Amino acid sequence: MKEKLKDYDQSKVDIFISYLKTLEEEKSNDGKIVNYWVKNITEDQFINAFKKVYETGLFIDGDSVTLTYRKKLVITYDYHAYKNKIIHTYPDTKFDFQIVYEGDLFSFKKESGKVVYSHTMANPFKIDKKIVGGYGIVKNIRGEFIEILTKADIDKMQNTSKMQNIWNAWYDRMVLKSIIKRICSTHFHDITKSIDVIDNETNEPENASIDVLIQDEISNAETVDQIELIYKANISGIENKNAFINLCKERKDELIKKEVEGLK
């Protein structure tokens, strides 16, 4: 692989190869391989993914840019990747991204193009605080910008994502990513459109009306029988039945594939 990527920054290539090795060897607490899909991806597919990201000015580091598998090899960017893209063009950019919890006092206004805001946290150390929204502020030579997300906005964004495992593990960071993506799509699309095109491959807008808890049930199902029970329990109340059926079928196919591979 290093030979095929000899024309690229070798320090970044080394980080990429090390990340692939980590993916391949990662195991769950019970000793099972976590990323079973890695062995089914060819070297050229991994190389093409590296080149695809490299062309956007970033690289796959296993942190701000990662890989996963959802019917195909998928590249994902976290909110640091979006910040890095803006900073590359506007080095003096100032960012402030925050979660707003129930009981917090938050207000803002714009005065002659300047964003003026106040955020008083009710209790920053309270356990199990309820998130009610979030905001992001970007200030640089281009201007001062603010974006607000309500809880309903956040829920819709989570529901449409194929990356429910990441949302469940890193909910706060995914909310922050959603905020900066919204700001970038409105005010910095010329800078971030190349990574947006790639990152949006992890979205399925048709799933917006399917509650994330039901999506979690499907993704966490361990047998085909469990999938069938979930289907029977929820199909009558689902608004977008075609999307729900597709989710169930995809997980069923994954389970059958894992079972077949386990028998080899």
222-261 pLDDT per residue, tens: 888 889 998 888 888 887 788 788 888 888 888 888 777 6
Contacts of 202 (CB under 8 A, 6+ apart): 70, 74, 76, 161, 162, 163
Q: What is the pTM of this model?
A: 0.72
pLDDT one-digit tens code per residue, 134-169: 999 999 999 999 999 999 999 888 888 877 777 888
Half-sphere exposure of 176 (CA within 13 A, CB side): 17
pLDDT value of residue 256: 85
Whole-angstrom distance, CA of residue 3 vs CA of residue 15? 15
User: Hey, is 74 helix, strand or coil?
Assistant: strand
Residue range 78-130, pLDDT digits in tens:
889 999 999 999 999 999 999 999 999 999 999 999 999 999 999 888 878 89
| DSSP state for residue 77 in the 8-state scheme | E
pLDDT for position 15 = 96
97 or 206: whose pLDDT is higher?
97
**Taking all residues of the chain, what is their mean pLDDT, rounded to a whole number?**
88
Q: How far is the first Cα of the chain from the last one, in angstroms, to the nearest whole number?
A: 27
Angle between helix 241-263 and helix 224-234 axes, rounded to 10 deg: 170
DSSP 217: H
The number of helix segments (H) and strand segments (E) in the chain equals: 10, 7
The confidence score (pLDDT) of residue 188 equals: 94
User: How many other C-beta atoms can be found within 10 angstroms of the C-beta atom of residue 100?
Assistant: 21
The reported pLDDT for the residue numbered 81 is 92
| Sign (positive or negative) of CA dihedral 211, 216, 219, 223 | negative
